[in-house]
Amino acid sequence: MDTRRWTEAVEADGRELGRLCRARPDAVVESCPDWTGADLLAHAAGFCRTLGELFAGGRDAREPAVEVRRDDALASYDDDLAALLRLLATTDPAAPVVNWSVRADDAAYWYRRAAHEFAIHRWDAATTADGEPAPVPADLARDGVAEFFEAFVATAFGYGRMPSKDATVVLELTDLDETLRYDLPNPGEETVLRGTASDVVLALWHRRDPLALHTGGDATLLRSWPHI
C-alpha cells in the first residue's frame, strides 16, 4: 500500500471513531471492556499527539504514549486528528522518524502504523453500538496482517520477547483468494487460519477468536496467541 491510501484510511476511520465514541461516551467498548467510548477517544487523541512529538523529534519512541483525559479528548479530538492528517500530508515518507520496531526509522512506518491503529480502533468503537461492526476494508486488512508480522512479531523475536518456534502460520484470505505464510521465525508445522482478510487481522489482534478461524494444524499455537 502507498502513503496516500494509508492517509485516506486514517482520515476515514479516524472520523468514524470520533463519531462513534462521542455518540456513546459512557458505553462499554465490548472488544476492550476496560474502556468506555470516551476512554477509547482519549487513547486515539493521545496517539495523534504522540506522533506529533515523534515527528518533531521531541520524544523517544519507547516512551509511553501521551496521556489525554477523557473530557479533554471529547473536546479536542477533532483538532488532534486534523493535526495528524496535516502532519501526514506534509511529511516526506522517507524523512527520519524514530520508532520502537526493527523496521526502518522513517515516517512511512508511522503512516502505516496510524492506518492500522485507526482501523482496529474504529472497529472497537463500533462495538459500543448495536449491530455488527463494519469489516476492515480488504486491502487495508491484508496490509494489516503483513504489518502485524513484519513489525510486531519480528520485533518480538528480534528483541527476545518471544521464544523462537519452528512453526509456520498459514493465513488463507478467502475474499482475496490469497494465502500468506509466516515462519515463527523458523519454518515448521503449519497452523492454518481461514477467513476474510478482515476476520484474519481482527483475529490476530484478538478482536475475533483465532480458534474460530482454525482449519488445520496445531491449534495449541492459537490458544497461546499473544495479546499485544
In angstroms, rounded to a whole number, what is the distance separating the alpha carbons of residues 196 and 190? 19
Using one digit for the tens of pLDDT, what is the confidence trace for 147-204?
A: 999 999 999 999 998 889 999 999 999 999 999 999 999 999 999 999 999 999 999 9
In angstroms, rounded to a whole number, what is the distance separating the alpha carbons of residues 40 and 17? 9
Flag whether the pTM goes above 0.75: yes
Report helix, strand or coil for 27: coil
Structural contact between residues 73 and 59, judged by C-beta atoms closer than 8 angstroms: no
Using one digit for the tens of pLDDT, what is the confidence trace for 22-44?
A: 999 999 999 999 999 999 999 99
Task: Give mean pLDDT, residues 72-97.
Answer: 98
